Amino acid sequence: MGELNEARLLASIPGTWWSTPYVGARFPGSPSVKENPGLSEGANCQFFAYEVLRLHGIDLPAWRSSELWHDTRRTVRVADGEPLDLALFNATDDAWGAHVGVVVGEGRVLHLSAEAGRPAVWTMADFGERDRYRTLIGFKRACRG
């Protein structure tokens, strides 16, 4: 398959996923997700990010952002994000309630937010311009293999 770069990663996203609406109540492990898995009824940032990873064979538990950040068994913290790493942002360095997106390439993150309403690719500078996302907490990489 070759190295996964931004163009390949973005091209792998099903066309219908780009119209996924932001729905804050559809988070990993929520009753609405358990009753109707998939993105057709919307998602929050974490659920959307986990679905992107699942599309690429990476299946993580239904963690909230702070659980993801503190996990050391299935994920590792990395200094620089690469495609399919998760990026966590917040107003402070607190992982509780952090925004989660998927790194797609050099300094760019695919995410779903209430502000954008639909999936979008933002630069790190785009996140830094917004108070609620101004702090990059860090990157997490799923352990593979």
Q: What is the pLDDT of residue 62?
A: 93
Q: What is the pLDDT of residue 2?
A: 55
Position 23 in a domain: no
Find tokens 């931004």 and name the residue: 6
Structurally, the chain folds into a number of domains equal to 1
Position 22 in a domain: no
The answer, yes or no, to whether residue 40 has pLDDT greater than 80, is: yes
Distance CA 20, CA 10 (A): 15
CATH code of the domain covering residue 60: 3.90.1720.10
Position 94 in a domain: yes
Over residues 87-103, mean pLDDT: 97
Position 110 in a domain: yes
Over residues 28-43, mean pLDDT: 95
Confidence of residue 106 (pLDDT cuts 50, 70, 90): confident
Other C-beta atoms within 10 Å of 129: how many? 11
Position 85 in a domain: yes
**Domain limits at 63?**
46-145
The pair of three-digit structure tokens given for residue 35, joined into one six-digit string: 């009753």
Q: What is the pLDDT of residue 1?
A: 43
SS3 state at 20: coil
User: How far apart, in Å, do the first and last CA atoms of the chain sit?
Assistant: 17
The amino acid at 133: Y
Position 53 in a domain: yes
Q: What is the pLDDT of residue 17?
A: 98
Confidence of residue 3 (pLDDT cuts 50, 70, 90): confident
Over residues 17-41, mean pLDDT: 95
Average pLDDT, the chain: 95
For the CA atoms of 55, 107, 23, 96, the dihedral, rounded to the nearest 10 degrees, stands at 100
Position 20 in a domain: no
Over residues 72-98, mean pLDDT: 97
Are 30 and 37 in contact by the 8 Å Cβ rule? The answer is no
Position 21 in a domain: no
